[in-house]
Amino acid sequence: MEEVIRVLVVDDSAYVRKVIKQMLSRSPFIEVIGTARDGREALDCVAELQPDVVTLDLIMPNMNGVEFLREQMQRRPLPVIIVSIASESGETALEALDAGAVEFVQKPTALATEKVFEISDELIQKVKAAAQIKLSNLPTNTNNRITSPLVSKVSSGAVDIVVMGISTGGPQALSFLIPQLPEDFPIPVAVVLHMPVGYTEMYARRLNDISPLKVVEAKEKDPVTAGTVLIAPAGRHLSFIRQPDGSVLTHLDARPFDTLHRPSVDVLFQSAAEVFGDRVLGVVMTGMGSDGKQGSAWIKSHGGLIFTEAEESCVVYGMPRAVEEAGLSDKAIPLNQITTAIMGVL
């Protein structure tokens, strides 16, 4: 029988605390064992109640969410899901991920209205996933990491693009991996990272600051060129269009509407296979669910390569597991060896 997940809800709004408790209580496998009004009170509650998962607001008096995270992770690491508003706390949310938060859910509004209930299903799903997370696999302090980019070599032309799909644990894993790619990396990289709307541009800027490569949030009709990492914008699928002169441009679209995620790894991978044929390397990394499995099948059917992150380094072994179990992975690789493996097939 599934064990009940014990959750502490931290938010300075009494209304939001009540609503989150109501939402989580819809699941028979989740019990809200306490609430806290700020980070300082949350530290005491964690010590006393020993929750399995914490949901955390970021903007709070006395001690904010990031301060709580930094202190709590030193005391006893545990899975923390940010529940906040992008417009008010975007940079703070990225700091929270650096400090050890594993997921975030975007509040639809700062106001005490019924709209808050819209996040109910997503929050329940992410709390269940967070309870299974391997926190020891979460790369930390990636912004301060001194990385040693690999030495490049002239591309043999076997691969013309690297496409990556990643979710839970993704911001930290990419902040570890991308800075290791050399400045003269000979092909483009495109990434779908499951993030709420409002975060991908800021995240791309931060990743650009610590990487030899140019990292940008993809815009419509961006050229797909060597040495550039394109991050799909939250809320839009990223695909490719080959021009009559042979160059390739990005295309952003809300369609298809029937995907679980937007952007979708499957949409990116399928487009890469259709435009670049057998010269595609797809990399599926940590994350829950199975986004990327169908896209990996497209890449394989066109003769391309698929790498998956090995279970031993995944924060959540969901997306890579789905690809692996479908027999679509050419190689399962721990996070700290993925860049070397990518360089090995160029």
Instruction: Tell me the catalytic residues.
Output: 167, 194, 291
What DSSP state is assigned to residue 4?
A: P
Residue 341 in contact with residue 283, Cβ under 8 Å? no
User: Any bridge partners for residue 161, and if so which?
Assistant: 280
Residue 6's DSSP bridge partners are 31
Give dist(CA 191, CA 68) in Å, integer: 31
- Distance from C-alpha of 52 to C-alpha of 37, rounded to nearest angstrom: 19
Contact 159, 330 (CB under 8 A): no
Q: Determine how many CB atoms are found less than 10 A away from the CB of residue 76.
A: 9
CA–centroid distance for 346 within its chain: 25
Is 311 within 8 Å of 287 (Cβ atoms)? no
Extract the tokens encoding 244: 């009559």
Q: What stretch of H or E contains 281?
A: strand 280-284
Rounded to 5, what percent of the chain is helix, strand, coil?
Answer: 40, 20, 40
**Is residue 82 a contact partner of residue 42, using CB atoms and an 8 Å limit?**
no
